[in-house]
Amino acid sequence: MYKKGEPITVLTAHDFPSGHVADAAGMEIVLVGDSLAMVAMGMEDTSEVLLEEMLLHCRSVARAAKTAFIIGDLPMGSYEIAPEQALESAIRVIKEGRVHGVKLEGGIEMASTIKKITTAGIPVLGHVGLTPQRQNSLGGFRVQGKTSASAMKVLEDALAVQEAGCFATVLEAVPAEVAALITNKLSIPTIGIGAGNGCSGQVLVQVDMTGNFPPGRFIPKFVKKYGDVWSESMRAIEAYKDETKSRAYPAPEHTYPIPKAELEAFER
Ligand code: KIV
Ligand code: NA
């Protein structure tokens, strides 16, 4: 797809149903992102989620996704100590999480770590630009590459992860023009999120793009809400409640029959 100039479609999933629908809809890559910390576990940010927890979610998605290439995020704390630690975690994500490859955040400083994992035959998806696991040292969720110096830093990070063996890299929250220039300078695909349509593909968080969140919740500027799953779930659950209270549900067609003679004998 990259060679043909065809954009690559990537979507997150965090459990069996979300993995199933992403796969059935034809997503080429399904990412078990550590964003599941927030969207599936109700945590404040991604720093809290454990490798063990990622493994459980990866396994659930892997059971659902039959066609897509599946990537599991290495959570914060599972890969920064040393390349050996990162490889050990990556092997667990493959063997226990049952996915095809891993993603980790960081550029130049992560090159030797990426190399360690790719050398072992595990595909690695890079993640440069805004790296949410480092939000505290980046000063929050901030667009990266808004000055020529910081754009150069994003380019150098992208080149470093390419050199280290990543098969592609996520480019998060980077001005569209910068992301397009970086994409042109690389020989691996860029998967953009908040990085414009000049990337080699796009990734979104599934609950964001399907609108599976309550009204009023903050969503980043780059998210396009393609659906309103929250409203549809609310409508269905409220209707179920109303019909249960009024005894309209269950109707006769939702019940099991018993032969009349058996019922009469039972009643006696
Ligand atoms: O955790 C995640 O969902 C991600 C993608 C948004 C790139 O890292
Ligand atoms: Na992530």
Question: Per residue in 104-121, pLDDT tens?
Answer: 999 999 999 999 999 999
What pLDDT does 24 receive? 98
pLDDT at residue number 138: 87
**Overall size of the chain counted in residues:** 268
In this prediction, residue 139 carries a pLDDT of 82
pLDDT digits (tens, 9 = 90+) for 122-166: 999 999 999 999 998 888 889 999 999 999 999 999 999 999 999
Say yes or no: ipTM exceeds 0.90. Answer: yes
Ligand nearest to the CA of 74: 2
CA max distance for the chain: 88
The residue whose C-alpha atom lies closest to atom 3 belonging to ligand 1 is 33
Confidence (pLDDT) at 140:
84
Which ligand 1 atom is at minimum distance from the Cα of 191? Answer: 7
Distance (angstroms) between ligand 2 centre and the Cα of 133 equals 8
Residue list, ligand 1 pocket, CB within 6 Å = 12, 31, 33-35, 73, 170, 193, 203, 205
Residues in the chain predicted with pLDDT less than 70, given as ranges, are: none
Amino acid found at 207: V
Active-site residue list? 172
pLDDT of residue 226: 98
